[in-house]
Structure 1
Amino acid sequence: MASKPSIPKGTRDFSPAEVAKRQYIIQIIKDNFEKFGFQPIETPSFENSETLMGKYGEEGDRLIFKILNSGDYLAKANAAHLESKDSTKLTASISEKALRYDLTVPFARYVVQHQNDIEFPFKRYQIQPVWRADRPQKGRFREFFQCDADVVGSKSLWQEVELVQLYDTVFTTLGLEGVTVKINNRKILSGIAEVIGASDKLIDFTVALDKLDKIGEDGVKKEMIEKGIAEEAIAKVQPLFNFTGSISEKIEKLSQLLSASEEGIKGVEELRFICDKVMNLGLSSAILDLDVTLARGLNYYTGAIFEVAPPKGVAMGSIGGGGRYDDLTGIFGLKNMSGVGISFGLDRIYLVVEELNLFPETVTATSKALFINYGDKEAFYAMKAIKDLRAAGIKVELYPDNAKLAKQFQHADRRHIPFAVIAGDKEMESNTYSLKNLVTGEQLSVDFETLKNSLS
């Protein structure tokens, strides 16, 4: 007996109704990207391994899906690595390509490769799937879409101000009021590490600090100690674990804490500019919060860092994030190209909008009306009306077979199609149509214009 077909863990099939809802979210994001001046690009689903590896830190590298070389991939494998079963070193000789982990690094590669054709500052958006060899759980998938907006070629902090506004505009349009846009600055984290004498442990320090909301204060301290950060140094950052107050109060506290760090003070001033401008311009429904423990575990952020949390009461991880990367293109040979960008987590946003029942009833993948098929002569009469209705932007269809009426009406019911259009001998003689509301059961005889207006 054949085994039941299945899909890999962390991936999903989408029904017509689910696709319609996803496209609704994507369209809102896309419309606002373009409203803010961003232009679309696309890049391949897989890149050369050397493009991706080493760009996301040790944890990120482990989550990159590697693609085995075509043909007899072991023929060119390093014999010593094969013999020693060193999978990390062996991978380089049997896998030259990998599925993209995010859209930011491929974008950096795109900018360097096409730099002579790009007008800077370049504002681009990209909506495509990415893949991560992560452990699947609620809201975390191995294949998922990212919706990114980035600006390269400008160091202006007004870009960060606009990106906060973009988050606010998109989530307000979706009806997701009360999301929290968390902001921090990598320079502040560097300054803290410098002040406590742990500059050489910056990555270990920030990766651990970023997990505060997941593993708690004790868990973070334990991980820092395991990474070789002294207990005396950890004691100096104790205030960070309970950092409260308004944004302006937090900025003043940071100014005092980092007074001995030039790098740290620069980060404080950048945050002060961004937060001051955002708060004075105002937000529609989002909440801006300075979260000094926010330390997204990526190697390339150098300035502002963003993360978006769903409205309170929704048990879900971040639904967006991003930051400033002053030297990302430098790894591909293009120096002094500053950039900043944000990402929307489509799949998690979908789950939140669904949980809060915020999808409009009009979001549907179904037709507005089904024309009943009585035979070829009647079907031809129906198709003339269908052609004109479709030209008017109305979703309608003809049942393809001259089947029993009960079967055709049952099909409309199962598809949640709200109207049936009957076009038989009587209707053809009078050049009319019988429009039946499948919810109320009401049936009316109408001419074409009335039919069109009723279905619009």
Structure 2
Amino acid sequence: MSVQKPSLPKGTRDFGPLQMARRNFILDTIKDTFKLFGFQQLETPAMENLSTLTGKYGDEGDQLLFKILNSGDFLKNVDPGDLENGTSAVLPKVSEKGLRYDLTVPFARYVVMNRNEISFPFKRFQIQPVWRADRPQKGRYREFYQCDADVVGTDSLLCEVEIILMIKRVFSQLGLKDYSIKINNRKILTGLSQAIGEAGREGELCVAIDKLDKIGWEKVQEELQNRNFTQDAIQKLSPIIYLKEGNQEKLEFLKSYLSDSAIGLQGIAELESVLDMLQAYGEDQTHVDFDVVLARGLSYYTGAIFEVKAHHVSIGSVSGGGRYDNLTGVFGLEGVSGVGFSFGVDRLYDVMDELGLFPAEDLDKTQVLITYFDENGFSYGLKVLNGLREAGIAAELYPDQAKIKKQFTYADKKQIPYVVILGDNEMEAGKLSVKELSSGEQETLNLEELVIKLKSLTGN
């Protein structure tokens, strides 16, 4: 019988101990921040009913849903006629469930199902994997984690301010210094399309302008012409492309530029309130960049839009979000507005990796390995092991009787910084010989002294 070589489904990956330690460093930082700001954690099932998922992500999204075959004889309700009529006839009879595609739709479902128990405004965060039947390529996976935070049931602009504050806190704790939080408002984009005489076409306008960084203004003008924007409209847009730096300067310019657009001016007022509140909180506008042509998820967002970019790395956007008017309308509960954003954990990982920002001291590591020469050493080692763990120090006792060199090799490979050596003399004196592997320094301590030493090193 041939031995099957194990493999992974395309577009998925394993996370080994080192990656997990680093991922947890990122996730714990994000979680601490969410909790500090009053967000509560939520989890929803990996699978949802297809009726919950279908039709929420557009036709393209529906194609990318992973469907789960019904258990048992899933073909029992399918007759030959269905097969002739193709997938759309067969699918409802063989599959009722699918893997979730994002965390927003399940969140909307949760809010509708629990609307009588939830106290609004409801601040929730969710960190779970999602699945997309996408073509795998570099940086694009079929299974990846999303890390979302949303506040629903309030129109207060304090939510927008808190998003900026949370991003700043997380980045500062991760050691990311070179980034910008780009912010705009959907209403300003609506105002722009009115001001250039192409009302209602902000979607097309933004798709074209969005490529400005990549293809330059000349090419964007061509694209707008191809989309039948008038020459006059394109001319009027020109000053927006060459706006002066500085949030305040941009706001002042737009007040006159959008003076005939009520909705545009409302967008400006909202943005100004956010920046004023930021100042009242005692935080400045460092890293905050008002980007007049930022356009994310236009069909979805109705107010503020955010996108966070890390600079001087190969990966662009690492976080984004915005305000929406109608989260739960598709499930028959109208008027639940909110604002949300998500951190791209995989992308943050890659950025930190590229910049070498992960702490060398992985706190998940075993701190001490207890080594010994014989059966007596093993028994004595068990007591020491208990003492160290009681004190909250990650410790191991080498499990097999082996040459001391082999035990040291284990410590070395696992990057355990300290080794306790239990010889007859140490045991008689009730002491421990402690060796620091990196320096080779050795000292004799009792258990209490060792605990104090290690705690001072880990900062516990």
TM-score of the aligned structures, taking structure 2 as reference length: 0.88
- Which residue of structure 2 aligns with residue 40 of structure 1? 41
**What residue ranges of structure 2 are gaps of 5+ in the alignment?**
456-460
- Which residue of structure 1 aligns with residue 254 of structure 2? 254
Say if 1:191 and 1:263, in contact at 8 Å, map to a contact too. Answer: yes
- Which residue of structure 2 aligns with residue 434 of structure 1? 433
CA distance in 1, matches of 2:91, 2:240: 40
Say if 1:57 and 1:298, in contact at 8 Å, map to a contact too. Answer: no
CA distance in 2, matches of 1:192, 1:77: 53
CA distance in 2, matches of 1:394, 1:332: 50
Q: Superposition RMSD on alpha carbons, in Å?
A: 2.9
CA distance in 2, matches of 1:118, 1:451: 49
Map 1:115-134; keep pairs closer than 5 Å: 115-134=115-134
Name the amino acid aligned to 1:123. K
Matched residue SS, 2:420:
strand
- Which residue of structure 2 aligns with residue 421 of structure 1? 420
Residues 60, 250 of structure 1: CA spacing in aligned structure 2 closer, same or farther, 3 A cutoff?
farther
Residues 142, 284 of structure 1: CA spacing in aligned structure 2 closer, same or farther, 3 A cutoff?
farther
- Which residue of structure 2 aligns with residue 104 of structure 1? 104
Deviation at 1:108, TM superposition (A): 1.5
Deviation sequence 1:417-439 (CA, Å, 0-9, x none) = 11111113222222111111222
Deviation at 1:23, TM superposition (A): 0.8
CA distance in 2, matches of 1:411, 1:269: 63
Matched residue SS, 1:350:
helix
Map 1:365-380; keep pairs closer than 5 Å: 365-380=364-379
Name the amino acid aligned to 1:26. L
Say if 1:47 and 1:98, in contact at 8 Å, map to a contact too. Answer: yes
CA distance in 2, matches of 1:369, 1:131: 40
- Which residue of structure 2 aligns with residue 407 of structure 1? 406
Deviation at 1:5, TM superposition (A): 2.4
Deviation at 1:28, TM superposition (A): 1.1
Name the amino acid aligned to 2:11. G
Find out whether 1:396 has 2:395 as its counterpart: yes
Deviation sequence 1:224-267 (CA, Å, 0-9, x none) = 666x5545455544444444432122223333343333322222
CA distance in 1, matches of 2:254, 2:30: 34
CA distance in 2, matches of 1:43, 1:15: 25
Name the amino acid aligned to 1:182. K
CA distance in 2, matches of 1:109, 1:374: 61
Name the amino acid aligned to 2:8. I
- Which residue of structure 1 aligns with residue 362 of structure 2? 363
CA distance in 1, matches of 2:321, 2:90: 33
Q: Which has the higher contact order (CA 8 A, sep 6+)?
A: 1
Residues 95, 352 of structure 1: CA spacing in aligned structure 2 closer, same or farther, 3 A cutoff?
same
Deviation at 1:56, TM superposition (A): 3.4
CA distance in 1, matches of 2:293, 2:79: 43
Say if 2:307 and 2:319, in contact at 8 Å, map to a contact too. Answer: yes
Percent identity, aligned pairs only, is 51
**What residue ranges of structure 1 are gaps of 5+ in the alignment?**
none
Higher mean Cα deviation, 106-115 or 189-198? Answer: 189-198
Higher mean Cα deviation, 67-76 or 414-423? Answer: 67-76
Deviation sequence 1:104-153 (CA, Å, 0-9, x none) = 22212111111111111111111112223344444433322222221111
Map 1:271-310; keep pairs closer than 5 Å: 271-279=271-279, 281=281, 283=283, 286-297=286-297, 299-310=299-310
Count of paired positions:
453
- Which residue of structure 1 aligns with residue 25 of structure 2? 24
- Which residue of structure 1 aligns with residue 7 of structure 2? 6
Find out whether 1:183 has 2:195 as its counterpart: no
CA distance in 2, matches of 1:422, 1:145: 43
Map 1:444-455; keep pairs closer than 5 Å: 444-455=443-454
Deviation at 1:289, TM superposition (A): 0.8
Deviation at 1:210, TM superposition (A): 3.8
Map 1:203-222; keep pairs closer than 5 Å: 203-214=203-214, 216-217=216-217
Residues 113, 203 of structure 1: CA spacing in aligned structure 2 closer, same or farther, 3 A cutoff?
farther
Matched residue SS, 2:365:
coil
Deviation at 1:74, TM superposition (A): 5.3
Deviation sequence 1:7-49 (CA, Å, 0-9, x none) = 2333221121111111111111111111111111111122223
Name the amino acid aligned to 1:346. V
Say if 2:278 and 2:284, in contact at 8 Å, map to a contact too. Answer: no
Higher mean Cα deviation, 418-427 or 69-78? Answer: 69-78
Name the amino acid aligned to 2:25. Y
Say if 2:387 and 2:447, in contact at 8 Å, map to a contact too. Answer: no
- Which residue of structure 2 aligns with residue 49 of structure 1? 50
Name the amino acid aligned to 2:68. I
